[in-house]
Amino acid sequence: GAVVSQHPSRVICKSGTSVKIECRSLDFQATTMFWYRQFPKQSLMLMATSNEGSKATYEQGVEKDKFLINHASLTLSTLTVTSAHPEDSSFYICSARVGREQRDTQYFGPGTRLTVL
Amino acid sequence: AQTVTQSQPEMSVQEAETVTLSCTYDTSESDYYLFWYKQPPSRQMILVIRQEAYKQQNATENRFSVNFQKAAKSFSLKISDSQLGDAAMYFCAYRSGGSSGSRLTFGEGTQLTVNP
């Protein structure tokens, strides 16, 4: 199947700093990428949908100024957590849709564990 | 808005036995897709099986099969000959087939334990 990578896999930062997480589709071009947040023992919550070359669409309640998403190429999307605080500590997962059809399958990255001290 | 419900927070099964995980969903759409994803301790989400709503035949992938009951809006996952490596959190997910069909809506998850 299609492979999606994320970097870094773990990051620890101080409160007030910014952290960038990269999501790459390794063997396909992803016109659409998705960013999720997952708290321990909970389900995945969609944060935003990112289309290559256009602004991301954020879900209700997600601060777009805090979670900056850039989808500069067909293989790379980045999530930047700006001025991170301890409550931003979570597991962040990206996924990428193979192909341009709505029916195409999403493949997930391995996730990034963010800890804000 | 669509909702997905997994009523079993935890399930357990003996190795080599069969287990069924339940999932129900609510939608007014006729064109949609249903998925089961597995999330092992590594946290990597893995697609287990996929079902198109327009197909009457239940999807099957090796030891994994679904029982898709469209009228009842039920989509259960059966795991046959359970193996230790099947232990994971399982998420049922829904995706619309329409123009807004990119996003996945996940259920709360079922933690499956496989006992040796």
CA distance, residue A94 to nearest chain B CA (Å): 10
| Preferred mutation among B23, B43, B61, B110 to probe A, highest tally of A CBs within 10 A | B43
pLDDT digits (tens, 9 = 90+) for B60-108: 999 999 999 999 999 999 999 999 999 999 999 999 876 555 789 999 9
More confident residue, A55 or A2: A55
Q: What is the distance of C-alpha B113 from the center of its chain?
A: 16
Helix (H) or strand (E) holding A11: strand A10-13
Contacts of B43 in chain A (CB under 8 A): 38, 91, 93, 110-111
Contacts of B50 in chain A (CB under 8 A): 105
CA–CA separation, A77 vs A17, rounded Å?
20
Choose among B52, B101, B109: nearest Cβ to A43: B109
- A35: pLDDT strictly greater than 60: yes
Contacts of A30 in chain B (CB under 8 A): none
pLDDT at A30: 85
pLDDT digits (tens, 9 = 90+) for B4-26: 999 999 999 999 999 999 999 99
CA–CA separation, A87 vs B111, rounded Å?
25
